[in-house]
Amino acid sequence: MLNTTRGILDMNSFDAQALGDADSPLLKKRQKNAGAASVLFYEKPIEMVSASGCWMVDAAGTKYLDFYNNVPSVGHCHPHVVKAITDQLSLVNSHSRYLNELTETYVEKLKATFPNELDNVVMTCSGSEANDLAMRIATHNTKAEGFIVTESAYHGNTEFVTKVSPSAFKSGKHPDHVVAIPAPSRRVYGDDVATGFAEQIRLAIHKLQGRGYDIAAFICDSIFSSDGIFSDPEGFLKPAISAVHDAGGLYIADEVQPGFGRTGDCFWGFQRHNVVPDIVTMGKPMGNGYPVAGMAVRSDLLNSFCNNVGYFNTFGGTPVAAAAALSVLEVIEKEDLQHNAQKVGTYLKEKLISLQETDERIGDVRGAGLFIGLDLCYPESQEANGVLASQVINGLRDENILIGAAGPYGHTLKIRPPLCLSISEADLFGDAISRVLSKLK
């Protein structure tokens, strides 16, 4: 079967041309106001009006189990987070150039989760901003311009970061100073993923040098979310990072998706590989829906950069942003959500593996904690089947379950519910996907 590569904005997206004249006044407003920049999920977009825990409610009162959204990581509208934001907003909220005890309390609590080498934290508003700043710091300190990413990576939407986000491209390709390598899949590298992936890094460095660029950094999401979710074996990144450092480059760990306890066994995805990044970037789940993000970095790298350029962020690290982010750390700790991610994630993964044993269209189930990828394939060839994945996604929507896709062909179901997911909710999902697949035979 012929596979068509799909970008991140095309995964499970609403197609206005396919639908024709929309019968929803709200949808018409959206299309008119946002134009070509309007991105909506599903063949028939949903108007959401409320949410709690792992559930969302639409305008008609229908409840949906959210297996897609990692932004409200501790649960939609968590009361502790809501109260923290509301209380602080009623006191003071301004730019980040005044002293604020709450902000420093948060930063110190956050720093305690990192290796000691990462002794500075810069607060931003989005993961895109954090990655943009990380890349600027890398180019300044290495005096190099080359970057290595994986083939379906996504790291944000500033101009600089989009160039290292191949899955965002609808046409064309990445520029000469960027080399994209295959994701760490056993299908590509066999059983020795670590050796094969490190060799690809070395080849990419050589390719960059052939184009006249030295390496500034290798940037990756440590669970390779957009590539299709590749978490194992633990430690496979270490030889690749050594190769980057040997060539004078830096390692930027993009923890926007795998961070904050989602993998269950570790608080940060990079910790599963026993490596210390030069820079770590954070975003989406950091404020449970409030726009707050950040970057942890070695102070020597930040000092050199700021001596040359300087940096400030008006809304990064404001009192309300700090209140939101601190409350998230408190909920993760108080409700033991990292352990819950490991416990419920293991249970769910085993349930899906059992389903795989009875359905040849499930090519692989992989992941860690509450971050699982399920490949849908043609049974005869085991080639990617993005068409089936779209059918399953919309079939699950009919079962009142929300889920997304990943991978170069959109054939990997991206299973990423809030960290508070219960065993009974995991069962609801497992039973629903079984029914949907049965109907599609």
Give the residue extent of every domain in the chain: 46-74+336-439, 79-334
pLDDT digits (tens, 9 = 90+) for 56-100: 999 999 999 999 988 999 999 999 999 999 999 999 998 888 899
Using an 8 Å Cβ cutoff, are 286 and 328 in contact?
yes
pLDDT digits (tens, 9 = 90+) for 38-60: 777 777 888 899 999 999 999 99
Contacts of 193 (CB under 8 A, 6+ apart): 184, 185, 186, 233, 236
Question: Which of 3.30.43.10, 1.10.472.10, 3.40.640.10, 3.20.20.70 would CATH assign to domain 79-334?
Answer: 3.40.640.10
Using an 8 Å Cβ cutoff, are 386 and 7 in contact?
no
To which residue do tokens 């297996």 refer? 67
pLDDT at 4: 61
pLDDT digits (tens, 9 = 90+) for 119-152: 999 999 999 999 999 999 999 999 999 999 999 9
Write down the pTM of the prediction: 0.93
Using an 8 Å Cβ cutoff, are 156 and 127 in contact?
yes
Could you give the CA distance from residue 2 to residue 365 in angstroms, rounded to a whole number? 23
Q: Would you call 273 exposed, middle or buried from its count of C-beta atoms within 10 A (0-12, 13-18, 19+)? A: buried
**Which residue type is seen at 382?**
Q
CB atoms within 10 A of CB 372: 22
Residue 208 has pLDDT above 90, yes or no: yes
Q: Nearest-5° angle of CA 169, CA 149, CA 281? A: 100
What fold characterizes domain 46-74+336-439? Aspartate Aminotransferase, domain 1 (3.90.1150)
pLDDT digits (tens, 9 = 90+) for 310-353: 888 888 999 999 999 999 999 999 999 999 999 999 999 999 99
